[in-house]
Amino acid sequence: MLYNNNMDENQQQPAGDNPIPPPPPPEIGVRTMQSDLQSMQKSGGDAPQPYIINADSAAPQRPVAEPMPAPQQPKITAQGYTGPEAPIFQEPSEPVFTPAEQIPTPGTANNDPTKKSGGLKIIIWIIAIIAIAGGLGALGYFVIFPILFPTQIAPIAQEPEPQPAPTPTIPEPVIPTPEPEPIITEPTTTAEIVPPPTPEIKPHTSFFQTSTSQEIISLESLTLETIKNGVSSTAAKLAINDFKELVLEKSDKTPVMLSEFLTILIPELTAEKIKVFFEEDFTAFIHVNDKGAWPGYILKLSDAGLLTQAQIEISQLEISPSLKNIFINDPGAINQLFKNGKVGSTDTHYQVYSLPNAAFNYAWFNNYLILSASYSGLTEALKKL
C-alpha cells in the first residue's frame, strides 16, 4: 500500500479544535480470472468463448462491456478535507469490464471453430490410419511374409536386363597331325593291269552335201612338217581348178581328231577349247588354181547354243601369228589386216599377205566354221555345204 507524503504531513499536524481522525485502511480488491468467472456466473452469464472472425462475412460488432461494479470504499466524512489523497478514498467512477455472453450474428453458424477443428482432426486421423495400415501391409507382404514363407509367393515379373553381347571366341587353328605314311608291301603275285577303254572312234563323215572326190593322206606322225608335206604331195597330183576333199588318217588307218590336229596349226586354240565348241570330226579340202594350191578346213559346232561364244573365241585369233601355218608355203608379210567381206550372202573376214592370191579367210555358215588359205577355195567350199 502506497501513501502520499502529503498525507503523512497532515497526520503529523497538531490536533486543534476539530481533530481529524486517521482514515481506516482502504480495502484493496485483487481481480483474478477465478473472481471474474464467479462474478459472471452470479450475474447469469456463461464462460467466455473465443471468437474467430470470418473473412467472408462482415465483422461482428463487439459487444459493449458492462461496467464492473466497483468495490465498496469507505467514505471519508471529514469535512474540509481537501488533501491529495481524496481521490484514493473516493469511489471509482470508471466502469469495470465484465465479459458478457457472445451473441453470434446471423450467417456465422457454420464458422464454429470447434466444429471445424474437430472435423479436420478426424480427417487427419483417418488419413494417418490408412497410411499406417498400408505401410504395415506392404512391410508384411514384401518383407515378413517372404521370410516366413519363401516358396508361397510367386516372383514379380520383371523385364529382363539386357545382357551384353557375347564376345566372339576365335577358335584356335587345329593343326592336323600328320598321318603316318602307309607301308607299301609288294604283292606276292603281279596283278594284271587293265588299260582304260579306248573311246570309240567314229569313221570320218564328209560335211559336203554334194558329191566330191576325195584324196587320202596318211600321216606317220602329227607334226606341222608332216602335215604340210602330205598336203603338198597330194596337191602336186591335181590339175588347175581342181577341188578335192582331203581325208587325213594316221598310220593305223584311224581318222585324225580335230583336237590333236588344229592345235598343231594354231597353238592358241587349246584342245580343251576345241572339245568344248566343236566336234572331233572335221573336213579338209584343197583348191588348185594358176597361182598355186590352197588348203582349207571345215569345223562343225558341237552345240548350236555355243555359236556366240565360239565366234568371240575365233575373232581373238585375228592377231595370232600362227595363221601362216594354214598355208603350204610361206605367204610372206601381211599387206592388209583383217577386213569384212562377203561370198554371196555370207559374211567373211580376211587378211591379205604379200604372196599373190594368199589370203587367210574365215566365215560362219549355219553351224560351220570355214578356214581357207584363199578366197577362191572358200567360195568353192561354200557351194558344196
Residue 173 inside a domain? The answer is no
User: Mean pLDDT for the chain?
Assistant: 77
pTM: 0.50
Domain presence at residue 261: yes
Q: What's the average model confidence in pLDDT over 143-165? A: 64
Closest CA to 295 of 327, 272, 331, 320: 327
| Tens-digit pLDDT profile for residues 62-97 | 555 555 655 555 555 555 555 555 555 555 555 554
| Residue written as grid cell 587378211 | 351
Is residue 228 one of the residues assigned to a domain?
A: yes
In a domain, 265, yes or no: yes
- How many domains in the chain? 1
pLDDT tens, 323-373? 999 999 999 999 999 999 999 999 999 999 999 999 999 999 999 999 999
* The dihedral formed by the CA atoms of 344, 347, 349 and 354, expressed in degrees to the nearest 10: 10
CA-CA-CA-CA torsion for 324, 325, 330, 336, nearest 10 degrees? Answer: -10
Q: Is 88 part of a structural domain of the chain?
A: no
Nearest to 351 by CA among 327, 382, 322, 318: 318
Domain of residue 267 covers 214-384
272 is a domain residue: yes
Query: Per DSSP, which regions of 191-333 are E strands?
Result: 214-219, 243-250, 283-289, 292-300
Question: When comparing pLDDT for 39 and 138, which is higher?
Answer: 138
Dump pLDDT digits (tens) for 296-313: 999 999 988 899 999 999
- Residue 284 belongs to some domain of the structure: yes
Q: CA of 331: how far to CAs of 299, 346, 374, in Å?
A: 23, 25, 11
**Is 59 among the domain residues?**
no
